[in-house]
Every structure is written in C-alpha cells, then in structure tokens.
Amino acid sequence: MSKILATKYHTQINNEILPYASCGVTCMAMILNWLNDKFGTTYECDDDKLFEILNSKPIIDIAKELVKEGKLDKAALEYRVDNPKTVIDESKFTHLNNFKEVLVVLGNYITKEVFLFKEEYLSVDEIKKSIMEDMPVIISAKFTSGGHFVTLVGYDDANNYVVDDPYGDWNKSYSSETLGRGKKLSYDIKKLSNAVTFKKLVDGVEKYQIIRIYSNFEKK
C-alpha cells in the first residue's frame, strides 16, 4: 500500500531571510499551505512572512516562558537577532527556526489551535497512519551536519517515505544541481530513521520525534 499527499512544495533556497537555515519555517509553510488547500483556510504560508511572525513579540514571549519552565533550550533566544536579514554566516546562527518546540507554538498561533500542532514520538507505522489520515508530519534528522527539517508527505511500496525536502536531494548529498529541487523525493525509511536526531524505545518499538497536526476544524 502507498499514499502520497498532493502537497505544494516550498524551497528554502528562494527565501529572502536565511535561505540556507530556514528549513523549519519552510516546512511549516508547506503544512499551512496544505491545510489551506484541504480545508479552505487562509493561513499565512509565505516562508519569509512566517519567519517574521516567528520572531515577533507574541512568539518570543511564549518562548521566554518555555525557557523559564525548562521546556525550551535557552540557546533558542541567546543567539537570536532582531533582524535576521543582517546575518552573514548562517551556519553560526542559532535561531528559533531550529527548535520544534517553537515551530509548534508558531503553528498553534497561526491557526489559533483550529489545528493543533504537537511534538510527539511516533513509530513508522504511526507516521504512516497520520499520512493515511491526510496529515503530513515534520521530522528532523542529521541530513546535514547541523541537522535539517523535512516534511513527510507519503510512503510507497518500496519501503520509502515520500518527502518534500525544502533544501534539495539528500540522496545526492545535496549537490548543487539538486538545491531547491526536493519535491516528492523517495527516502529509504530505514536510512532516514537511523538519521533521526531524537528517538526512543517504547515497549520495544522505536519511535521518532516529529511535529504532528490534529484537526479541530469542525470545532471552528
């Protein structure tokens, strides 16, 4: 059995703000675009505008509270700058886009929890179930030395995830000719699972940290 969601692809390479370090908000943009297409909502799904919202006072205030509560690494705020467009060396810039906890806050802020974004640990079968229910998931792994977010939008009969990769093609080590061409790529499930940054065993089953979306749309 296979399933591939008809998501619209966004590439971070075209972003005005931190094009080489904005994978998180670009994946969020793809998710929000999908919700708009499926449910007729009108959520902001421009990558750069989402990055600006991510660095706005309401999100920063929530992030500060999460740091106080020990739910967010203080590095999320320590290296933030007021104007990311001024950053020259993106590889040394730690920003809110790098943290699942803050991306979850962004999703819930944008949708006003009509769609509930949650950070969870899911098995491969549970990830497939979410996709079967028409909800893609965001996952981070060591695709690059600094880590990287992609959106899982399907799976096939050959034991692959179908991935919208905002940067390019991991299968080809993100060679220059693949940059910005990460639409509906096949990534081996075992290889991707081995590269996932955060995972744990639950009752003997390996689970992977992801961002999952639940629909409260009928309650809107």
Q: What is the percent of the chain where pLDDT is above 70?
A: 89
The confidence score (pLDDT) of residue 63 equals: 86
Query: Do the beta carbons of residue 2 and residue 155 sit within 8 Å?
Result: yes
For the chain, the domains span 3-219
Whether residue 81 is predicted with pLDDT greater than 80 in this model: the reply is no
Residue type, 59: I
Q: How confident is the model at residue 95 (pLDDT cuts 50, 70, 90)?
A: low
CATH code reported for the domain at 3-219: 3.90.70.10
Token pair for residue 31?
């998710």
How does the average pLDDT of the chain come out, rounded?
A: 89
Mean pLDDT of 87-111: 74
- What is the spatial distance between Cα 136 and Cα 8, in angstroms, rounded to a whole number? 12
Site of tokens 């999952």? 212
For the ranges 3-12, 51-60, 77-86, 104-113, the lowest mean pLDDT is seen at 77-86
- Interhelix angle 100-111/47-54, rounded to 10 degrees, is 100
Whether residue 219 is predicted with pLDDT greater than 90 in this model: the reply is no
The confidence score (pLDDT) of residue 15 equals: 92
The confidence score (pLDDT) of residue 7 equals: 97
